[in-house]
Amino acid sequence: MRHVRLSVAKCAALILLAGCVLSWPIAAATPTAKPEEVGLSAERLHRINDLIQRNIDAGTFSGAVALVARQGRIAHLEAQGLMDIESRKPMQKDAIFRIMSMTKPVVGVSIMMMIEEGKVRLTDPVSKFIPEMKDLKVAVAMTPAGPPPPPNTPTRFYTVPAEREITVRDLLTHTSGLVSGGISNREAQRVALKGKETLADYLPRLGGVPLDFQPRARWAYRAQAGLRTLARIVEITSGMPYDRFAKQRIFDPLGMKDTFFYPAQGNPRMATLYRRGEKGLEKQNNPGFMNGAYFSGGGGLMSTAEDYLQFAQMLLNGGELNGKRLLGSKTVEVMTSVAAPDTLPGRPKGEGYGLSVRVVNDPIARSSFMSAGTFGWSGAFGTHFFVDPQERIVGILMAQTPDQQVRLDFENAIMHAIVGNGTLSGTH
């Protein structure tokens, strides 16, 4: 062993003498705290474990990782259940999950970076970057004569001109009408991504697809088209593919070493994806867009609970983490403020929408115990995060089977664990 240590030392010296620098992302290292040190009850936080175990026993999901941080310190990080049922492999705290739409806030931050650099404006028409999206049409359903058509019958429609162009803001707030799950869905399917196409190949074709409603007439959430368009705008304005932009400008500075596009085949830390079937949890294949040649802004990222904490904590800190500033504090404030109110058709009561994140504006109307101003988002396969700026709390739940009620119960369990302010020294 002595000879091995000497060899390593000699190699290190040679590297330094040669002036060579090895660079790779530094592992995320968030300090920990006893719950009581940050104003949380350990006994009450344990209710999260009980909540997750009940859902494992009920077959809601195979396992999960739960993380709670307050004032920049982790007070709760637990892995429960199995990350793979067939092999009986226990869930690990550093398990990698398909975070799906939790990719969207990452794209939101990317666009805000381009805005701060003067390359994009919220008011810019999308056609400024993708000319084919100028002079869009809006689909209007034809009123059928006679008895109503059978269920699932394709709706016939005609088109009218859009009253105005869709903007970057519209894409960020899901108010553009672009492939929004309405009557033009069949047209969108005809121009869908194929094989190894990139966003540069695909997005110009969307210019021929009618919008589902007039821009800003309503809110309609659909996972892919709008955020894919934003990712492409980042590619155009930054001059690099979106995966490289995200790595260089966000993941590496934040130390997010386990966040990336496309599943790493054979990675022993990848949690298995499941869906609930008639006989319980059934293994599910990755969605097709995770196996293509493009980097979807609507979903597609893999991450761990601790990795995603770095991103969430950066937002809580007003755009900075560990001396690395990604955004100005005012930019984050605007990003996490209500841009699409809950009075807009399609939005649930008590919950507005910001620039790529949901924002709680009325906790009572939402049946939530979180503070007004809390923001976050979820992923279709069971992942979830929120940031409560008033309480300085980040909550992250990672699972690979969707269930909305578990997410709400997780949020409330965290809020019920607050018993004081804790020590605020060293926080932002």
| Residues in Cβ contact with 203 at an 8 Å cutoff, skipping those fewer than 6 apart | 130, 132, 133, 228, 229, 232
| Residues in Cβ contact with 405 at an 8 Å cutoff, skipping those fewer than 6 apart | none
- In whole angstroms, what is the distance from residue 263 CA to residue 273 CA? 11
What pLDDT was estimated at residue 17?
37
Q: Per-residue pLDDT tens for 299-334?
A: 889 999 999 999 999 999 999 999 999 999 999 999
Residues carrying CATH 3.40.710.10, the chain: 35-102+240-416, 110-238
CA atoms within 13 A on the CB side of 125: 14
- In whole angstroms, what is the distance from residue 54 CA to residue 312 CA? 27
State the distance between the two ends of the chain, measured CA to CA, in whole angstroms.
45
Q: Per-residue pLDDT tens for 364-412?
A: 999 999 999 999 999 999 999 999 999 999 999 999 998 999 999 999 9
Contact 35, 75 (CB under 8 A): yes
What pLDDT was estimated at residue 289?
67
Amino acid identity, residue 285? N
- In whole angstroms, what is the distance from residue 428 CA to residue 313 CA? 10
Contact 186, 208 (CB under 8 A): no
pLDDT > 70: percent of the chain: 87
pLDDT > 90: percent of the chain: 73
In CATH, the architecture of 110-238 is 3-Layer(aba) Sandwich (3.40)
- In whole angstroms, what is the distance from residue 239 CA to residue 143 CA? 46
Q: Is the pLDDT of residue 20 over 60?
A: no
What pLDDT was estimated at residue 156?
80
What pLDDT was estimated at residue 144?
66
**Band (9; pLDDT cuts 50, 70, 90):** very low
- In whole angstroms, what is the distance from residue 195 CA to residue 154 CA? 26
Mean pLDDT across the chain: 89
What pLDDT was estimated at residue 423?
60
CATH no., domain 35-102+240-416: 3.40.710.10
**Band (157; pLDDT cuts 50, 70, 90):** confident
Contact 243, 261 (CB under 8 A): yes
